[in-house]
Amino acid sequence: MAKVLVFIDNPGDALKKSSLELLTLGRSLGETVVALNGKLHDDVAAAFAEYGVGTVLLPSAEDLDDFLVAPKAAYVAAAAEQAGAGVVLLDNSPEGKEIAARVGIRLNAGVITDVVAVDANGTAHKAVLAGSYNTSCKATTPVSVLTLKANNVTPEPAAAPTSPETVTVEVPAGSTAAAARITAREQKVASGRPDLTDARIVVAGGRGLDGDFTPVEELADALGAAVGASRAATDAGWISHDAQVGQTGKTVSPQLYISAGISGAIQQKAGMQTAKVIVAVNKDAESPVFEIADFGIVGDLFDVLPQATAEIKKRKG
Amino acid sequence: MEDTLKIVVLVKHVPDAQFDRHLNGEGYTTDRNESILSELDEYALEAALQLAEARGGAKAGNQVIALSMGPSGAVNAIKKALQIGATEGVHLTDDALAGSDAAATSLALAAAIRHLGSDAPVDLVITGMASTDGETSLVPAQLAERLGLPQVTFASSLQVEGGRLTARRDADLSSETVEAPLPAVVSVTDQINEPRYPNFKGIIAAKRKSITTLSLADIGVQPAQVGFSGSWTSILAAEERPPRTAGTIITDEGDAGIKLVDFLAAQKLL
């Protein structure tokens, strides 16, 4: 049976949902081997067993986090060769894509990013040009490297749990020589909200908020959602640049996208039009966002959002 | 006085995202009519110009080379870069390049950059944070891997001193300070600077700047290594998604917030 290598970077003491999605997809394509970076916590090891992982590989070096991606890519490529993997799966984060890019060169393997599904024969499906086309594509090489977008696979434990063995992979010597070194790292204050790119629900605000994101944040918290923003709002400095959804920001495809005070010009649309359900609130009935909204409200977001927030809290008790 | 720099900026002509974009080309490639200089590449060019100007600019021997790969339309991206201030333009073009995926594109660009470094080495390759069309972000990382160079991605500030670069990267959960020896590949975000517009003087000056055309033979690449034959991925099918259609639109009559929650409940999204 084909081997599928899944790269999981620093899971800490619990696997993220996107990692469980990778393990579930991987199992549908072959026998999964995990290439882990970081400590193998007991709970994580238990999750690997539950998800049917055959082998867990660990790097011989512990300083991979001190560098940008190059040494991690060298490790993943070495792990894929050691495991004899035909498919390498990574998450679709910017770092995941960069590692995939380099692993592709090291293994002479075709790389496909932004994958939403993979057929048993290896054909991958993805949306391109800001979600205006669906394409199916395939690596023409013996090994393929795929990065999977979050929220497209339902995590499912294996029918029969495994007891994975742990094996060390030698990180190629010299892989840190030509790498950029991280000399300082400042953790940002965690918002406690879900990660924007993985979130099941996103509430986003734009120009119409006029500097005050409170109604968007309160609705997001009532729904357990991530907060997003249009470029106009981030450029105005009303909210951190990390929150920007759109062509020059993040692309999200949540189950629900609530757009408040955003006109929905093409730059914003590019980042969110693959959301399953779109709700829009805007004062201007002519806003382009209403052309793509499943449910639109022409009204003042400072009335509508707080009312919705209060109603959700009431119903959730 | 700082050493002079030889900087290559990768520029790309992309379909204008203000209009509908199509995969009409052979093998589901992008239709590049109505193409423009990728907006995100302007930040890369500005970063290069600032580094060059801090060292006395072109007069002192600093070079900012705008490199673009693609059919004849790619010249427009190079011309725009020259108007903004690049010192010279290089157009890598060859019929055999059509249909190149990221792997084939990075192979050709790596060969072109080695070629450009054959007289004096290239110190820095600067790119935008992504292209606005392919959106795969693979090419710069693959280029760095092929050239064996360190790469700093998503730089929101960039300094070069004594043969080393220092950059700040803003990730979602942390900010990092990163150092790497030159030569290096750097991608910059749209937060790093405010790109300048070409002024009249720049537009006139650009007419006197040269654009060198390179073919695959010039850079020692075989046609079979690039294009559809040299690509490691292939697009089997492409289907235009049906456009989203508008759903229910209501006007707030004082209870729209409640109706919004009713809608979410009906969609089982609460």
Query: pLDDT tens for residues B54-73?
Result: 999 999 999 999 999 988 88
Interface contact B180-A292, CB threshold 8 A: no
Residue given tokens 């600093």 in the structure block: B62
Amino acid letter for position B88: E
Whether A166 contacts chain B with CB within 8 A = no
The nearest CA of chain B is from the CA of A31 a distance in Å of: 23
CB contact under 8 A, A97 and B138: yes
Amino acid at position A265, single letter: A
Give the span between the Cα atoms of A86 and A74, in whole angstroms: 17
CA distance A130 to B173: 25
Contact A84, A61 (CB under 8 A): no
| Cα-based torsion angle of the residue sequence A230, A149, B15, A264 in order, rounded to the nearest 10 degrees | -30
Task: Provide the residue type at A211 as one letter.
Answer: G
The two tokens of residue A69 are 């991606």
| CB distance B84 to B196 below 8 Å | yes
Taking residues A23-34, report their average pLDDT: 96
| Tokens standing for residue A224 | 């357990």
Q: What is the DSSP letter of B167?
A: E
pLDDT band at residue A210 using 50, 70 and 90 as cut-offs = very high
**Cα-to-chain-centroid distance, residue A116:** 11
Nearest C-alpha neighbor of A130 from the set A263, A287, A253: A253
Q: What confidence category does residue A136 fall into, taking pLDDT thresholds of 50, 70 and 90?
A: very high
Residue A106 near chain B (CB below 8 Å): yes
Whether residue A218 has pLDDT greater than 70: yes
B28–A267 CB contact, under 8 Å? no
Q: What are phi and psi of B98, to 5 degrees?
A: -60, 135
Kindly determine whether residue B265 and residue A315, on different chains, have CB atoms separated by under 8 Å. yes
Instruction: Inspect the interface and report whether the beta carbons of B178 and A279 lie closer than 8 Å.
Output: no
Which pLDDT score is estimated for A130? 67
In chain A, which residues have their Cβ closer than 8 Å to the Cβ of B246? 290-293, 296
Q: How confident is the model at residue A93 (pLDDT cuts 50, 70, 90)?
A: confident
User: Average pLDDT, whole number, for chain A?
Assistant: 92
Confidence at residue B55, expressed as pLDDT on a 0 to 100 scale? 95
Q: Please say if the pLDDT value at position A220 is more than 60.
A: yes
**B191, B236, B244 member nearest A123 (Cβ):** B236
Query: How far, in Å, CA of A156 to CA of B137, rounded?
Result: 30
Q: At a CB cut-off of 8 Å and minimum separation 6, what does A63 contact?
A: A71, A176
- Taking the CA atoms of B140, B142, B144 and B147 in sequence, report the sign of the dihedral they define: negative
Helix %, strand %, coil % for chain A, to 5? Answer: 30, 30, 40
- Rounded to whole angstroms, the Cα distance separating B204 from A88 reads 51
Q: What are phi and psi of A213, to 5 degrees?
A: -85, 0
Helices A214-223, A301-316: axis angle to 10 degrees equals 20
Q: Residue B88 pLDDT more than 90?
A: yes
Q: Dig out the tokens for A176 from the structure.
A: 């840190």
Q: Which of A66, A76, A129 to mutate to test the interface with B (most CBs of B within 10 A)?
A: A129
Burial class (CB in 10 A: 0-12, 13-18, 19+), B207: exposed
Q: Strands B164-170 and B151-161: what pairing?
A: antiparallel
Compare CB distances from B246 to A293, A305, A309 and report the shortest one's residue: A293
- Please check the confidence at residue B34 and state whether its pLDDT lies above 60: no
**What order do you get walking across the sheet with B6-10 strand by strand?**
A181-187, B174-181, B164-170, B151-161, B184-188, B124-128, B6-10, B63-69, B88-92, B211-214
pLDDT digit string, tens, across residues A165-209: 999 999 998 888 788 999 998 887 777 888 888 889 999 999 999
**Lowest-confidence segment of A305-309, B170-174, B219-223 by average pLDDT:** B170-174
Which chain B residues touch A125 with a CB distance below 8 Å?
A: none
Q: What is the pLDDT of residue A242?
A: 87
- Looking at residue A247, its pLDDT comes to 79
* Residue A62 sits at the chain B interface (C-beta within 8 Å): no
CB contact under 8 A, A133 and B176: no
CB A279 within 8 A of CB A257: yes
How close is the nearest chain B Cα to the Cα of A45, in Å?
Answer: 25
Strands B124-128 and B6-10: parallel
**A109 contacts in chain B (CB < 8 Å):** 232
pLDDT at A104 over 80: yes
Has residue A32 got a pLDDT over 90? yes
Kindly state whether A240 is in contact with chain B, defined as any CB-CB distance less than 8 angstroms: no
Of residues A51 and A114, more confidently modeled: A51
Copy the structure tokens of residue A111.
Answer: 């790389």
Cβ atoms of A38 and A10 within 8 Å: the answer is: yes
Give the pLDDT confidence score for residue B195 in this predicted structure: 94
B176 vs A184, A196, A298: nearest CB: A184
- With cut-offs at 50, 70 and 90, classify the pLDDT of residue B136: low
Chain A hits for B141, Cβ within 8 Å: 69, 97-98, 101-102
Among B110, B38, B88, B63, which Cα is nearest to B213's?
B88
Residue B266 contacts A where some CB pair is shorter than 8 Å = no
Beta bridge mates, A244: A229
| pLDDT of A38 | 94
- Nearest CB to B102; choose among A111, A127, A185: A111
User: B57: distance to nearest CA of chain A, Å?
Assistant: 27
**Confidence label for B24 from pLDDT (cuts 50, 70 and 90):** low
Q: What is the ipTM, given to two decimal places?
A: 0.86
The per-residue pLDDT for A281 is 97
Q: Which of B261, B263, B268 to probe the A interface (max A CBs under 10 A)? A: B261
| Shortest Cα distance, chain B CAs vs residue A159, angstroms | 29
Q: Do B270 and A312 touch (CB under 8 A)?
A: yes
pTM for this structure? 0.86
Spatial distance between the Cα atoms of B75 and B267, rounded to a whole number of angstroms: 50
